[in-house]
Amino acid sequence: MTEENIRSYLGELKLPKEILSTLIQSANKSKDEITNRVSKEIIGIVSQIDWVKEIPRFAEGHKFKISAEIDIIKKNPESHPDHSPGKEKHRETK
């Protein structure tokens, strides 16, 4: 739930502004506490992983596919200093 959703819901209850403000602050504080706790748990779990050991183990059981897309786009002649209008360069062939 977003703060706007909470405000909308509580606004329908016709509560005084002071109580509404207190409830929203409490909800934000609870959200921040939950976010911090979950973040700390994830950091704790990830920090215990032996990445040097796990990455080769993962690589042994998986196949990797790499895809790339390359676009070659012709430059605008006016934007290139060597190709300004009226200045044609000719190459001599031997």
Collapsing DSSP to helix, strand or coil, 7 comes out as helix
Q: What is the pLDDT of residue 92?
A: 55
Separation between Cα atoms, residue 49 and residue 70, nearest integer Å: 36
Structure tokens that stand for 44 in this block: 């704790």
Domain count, the chain: 1
Considering the domain boundaries, does residue 15 fall inside one?
Answer: yes
Q: What is the pLDDT of residues 75-88, one digit of tens each?
A: 887 765 655 555 55
Considering the domain boundaries, does residue 72 fall inside one?
Answer: no
Considering the domain boundaries, does residue 87 fall inside one?
Answer: no
Collapsing DSSP to helix, strand or coil, 64 comes out as coil
Cα 90 to its chain centre, rounded Å, is 49
Q: What is the pTM of this model?
A: 0.47
Considering the domain boundaries, does residue 46 fall inside one?
Answer: yes
Longest distance between any two alpha carbons in the chain, whole Å:
91
Q: What is the pLDDT of residues 12-40, one digit of tens each?
A: 777 788 887 888 888 889 989 999 999 99
Residue 1: pLDDT band by 50, 70, 90 thresholds? low
Determine the structural domain holding residue 47 and report its residue range: 3-66
